[in-house]
Structure 1
Amino acid sequence: MDVVDSRVERILRAAASAPSVYNTQPWQVDATGSAVTLRADAARQLRHSDPHGREMLISCGAFLFNARTAARRDSLTAVVKILPDPDDELLVAEIEFEPGPAPNMDELELSVAIARRATSRVPFDDQPLFTDVLMSILQAARDEGAELRLVQPSEPVREDVIGLMRRAEAIAAEDPAARAEEKAWTATDPGREDGIPRDLLGPAADDDRAPVRRFIASTGKAQFEERSTLAILSTAGDSARGWVAAGQALQHVLLVATTYFVHASFATTVLENPTTRHDLRRVLSLDGAPQMLMRLGYSSMPEHTPRRSVPLKVSP
């Protein structure tokens, strides 16, 4: 491979550290020189809880933002064409890596944060985020065409949000297909390169009011914080293009948060049920469609979930 191709390989390895629903890593890439085609991997789609591929494309959007960010570390600029296509629903984007200027300090900080970012499902410090963090993550979402609605501990609507989380989880717990899908991707064997290992699921909360997702296979219980920050990411559009945008915005938010030593955990069940997703939008008076609900806070550095090698097809 030439120099540019070596850089592309390195960029794609960094991109593959993106978060994905249940750590399914639902992406495929086809490289030709300095050009890359990103596709969703339908074999890794959650057919029951994500029948339209919304979370799959959000995951691919996070991969795409990582690729853009990692490219800057190598003084490359990613020229991206978003391509969700009615005739090819798995096509996400085409990326051309071109020579660019040297990265500035902000770009370098974000690129370093790629390797440091990890989901944390343990109790956080019992405090909301500092104001400078809040301003930075709000701007990160807007930079990608999304909005971030923060829900602080003092807001009465927080109880409504947590109530909808519990309601969606209760409905899913009664659904054999939902339980089977979660079981297939959680408490995975140590040797697997995908899914969430049992020791990274985190403990179950000992309080129904804790803003943390419950997993069937969680072991043990813990007292979770009461004053972490909840954030709901929304986009104006709710089509494939909007879902890819949501993934890019999500990863931009997470990388900026990582530079402040802030970690996140996610509650996706409430958004997988059409009724509770609608109700979440209503209680928060969101203008756009909610795409991700996360809990943000300070904690020790979490372990990383496993990663498979990038499924890279190199074209001549």
Structure 2
Amino acid sequence: MELLDARIERILRAAGRAPSVHNTQPWQVRVHGNRVVVRADPSRQLRHSDPQGREMLISCGAFVLNARLAARRESLLPVVTVLPDPDDHLLVAEIGLRPGPGPDIDELELAVAITRRVTTRSPFDDQPLDADVLQAIQIAAHDEGAVLRLIQPSEPARDQVMSLVRRAEALAAEDPAARGEEKAWTAVAPDRPDGIPQEMLGPWTFDDRSPVRRFLASAGNAQFEQRSTMAVLLTAGDTPRDWIAAGQALERLLLVATTYFVRASFATTVLENPTTRHDLRQALSLDAPPQMLMRLGYGTTPRRTLRRTVEDSVAPDA
């Protein structure tokens, strides 16, 4: 049991490296023997910009995917039940851990990539991703039940997408509640284990063709690339189950991208506003709900945001 406890601790540490909106890390876990229970933590929800908890559950889905891969690295088989209680939407998943064979090469590669994956808000190299890389990350999304719809630099609708991103950010900047929420989670102290420190917010850009989020506390400006790959992640439906699936798909594609030295940057504001989210779907003629908009490219490796300790994320038994 002592060895298994050590394994679970390593699994939870790796799971906590998952990306989350504003690095809120909105998850809480309980451990019952060989079973890990993952709950969404509403105290870390962005109540104004994410009132339904869509981004919160996407973040928790990414946590679950990391836990699955980290379990395989420990030669354990994760048996995952998503939303096991239909009356408790905060109970994201139960993960049973059983003895299993050692990880295969692909599982081990993705598990190792968990510690290397990083979000960046800096310019990329001015080139689209290679065709084999695009295929690999699209397959990764598909493996988790989602679709990654690419938006190439030459696509006419890309300008419409950029216009909607800027419109959503302008509306948020005029909203005192949105500004207050952003302030609470950005430009935080460098040693704070959540949120985004000032120096990691990235520079501004005044180029409307660059899908870079403009944080209110961003400092300086930079010339961003014009030919990076943009993509939008889609799910079949728009329910809590779909949002958790989106989080697992997002993290799997990001880890696959990491194995190719590809970095990601997210534009979330356009999907937080119901009007611009609808308009984005119309502009791209999407037949499924968009869950995440991102740019993908090659670039330098930035610093990583800090994470809470395992002890802080584990809730005491009731």
Matched, 1:185 2:185: yes
- Poorly superposed stretches of 4+, deviation over 4 Å: none
Matched, 1:59 2:40: no
Q: Name the aligned partner's letter for residue 20 of structure 1.
A: S
| Equivalent residue number for residue 299 of structure 1 | 299
> Structure 1 regions of 5+ residues with no counterpart?
none
CA–CA distance in 2 between the matches of 1:256 and 1:191? 29
Alignment of 1:281-296 (within 5 A): 281-296=281-296
| Equivalent residue number for residue 12 of structure 2 | 12
Given that 1:84 and 1:240 are in contact with CA atoms closer than 8 Å, whether structure 2 keeps it comes out as: no
Q: Name the aligned partner's letter for residue 200 of structure 1.
A: M
Match of 1:149, SS state, is: strand
Alignment of 1:38-49 (within 5 A): 38-49=38-49
Given that 1:84 and 1:241 are in contact with CA atoms closer than 8 Å, whether structure 2 keeps it comes out as: no
Question: How big is the shift at 1:191?
Answer: 2.2
CA–CA distance in 2 between the matches of 1:84 and 1:59? 18
Which shows bigger deviation, 76-85 or 61-70? Answer: 76-85
CA–CA distance in 2 between the matches of 1:13 and 1:134? 29
CA–CA distance in 1 between the matches of 2:219 and 2:30? 40
CA–CA distance in 2 between the matches of 1:22 and 1:89? 22
Match of 1:121, SS state, is: coil
Question: How big is the shift at 1:86?
Answer: 4.4
CA–CA distance in 2 between the matches of 1:190 and 1:144? 34
CA–CA distance in 1 between the matches of 2:317 and 2:78? 19
| Equivalent residue number for residue 312 of structure 1 | 314
CA–CA distance in 1 between the matches of 2:97 and 2:293? 32
Matched, 1:130 2:133: no
Residues 257-297 of structure 1 show CA distances to partners (whole Å, capped at 9, x for unaligned) of: 00000000100000000000011111111121100001100
CA–CA distance in 1 between the matches of 2:275 and 2:286? 15
CA–CA distance in 1 between the matches of 2:113 and 2:205? 29
CA–CA distance in 1 between the matches of 2:173 and 2:2? 52
CA–CA distance in 2 between the matches of 1:45 and 1:313? 17
Residues 159-212 of structure 1 show CA distances to partners (whole Å, capped at 9, x for unaligned) of: 011111001001111101001101110010122110000000000013122121
Count of residues in Structure 1 that have an aligned counterpart in Structure 2? 316
Alignment of 1:125-204 (within 5 A): 125-204=125-204
Question: How big is the shift at 1:313?
Answer: 3.2
Q: Name the aligned partner's letter for residue 213 of structure 1.
A: R
Q: Name the aligned partner's letter for residue 291 of structure 1.
A: Q
Question: How big is the shift at 1:101?
Answer: 1.3
> Structure 2 regions of 5+ residues with no counterpart?
none
Q: Name the aligned partner's letter for residue 175 of structure 1.
A: D
Matched, 1:268 2:268: yes
| Equivalent residue number for residue 241 of structure 2 | 241
CA–CA distance in 1 between the matches of 2:206 and 2:51? 32
Q: Name the aligned partner's letter for residue 314 of structure 2.
A: L
| Equivalent residue number for residue 205 of structure 1 | 205
User: Judging changes above 3 Å, is the alpha-carbon distance between structure 1 residues 84 and 284 closer, same or farther for their aligned structure 2 residues?
Assistant: farther
CA–CA distance in 2 between the matches of 1:154 and 1:211? 15
CA–CA distance in 1 between the matches of 2:317 and 2:7? 16
Given that 2:84 and 2:94 are in contact with CA atoms closer than 8 Å, whether structure 1 keeps it comes out as: no
| Equivalent residue number for residue 98 of structure 1 | 98
TM-score (norm 1): 0.98
| Equivalent residue number for residue 223 of structure 1 | 223
TM-score (norm 2): 0.97
Given that 2:72 and 2:103 are in contact with CA atoms closer than 8 Å, whether structure 1 keeps it comes out as: yes
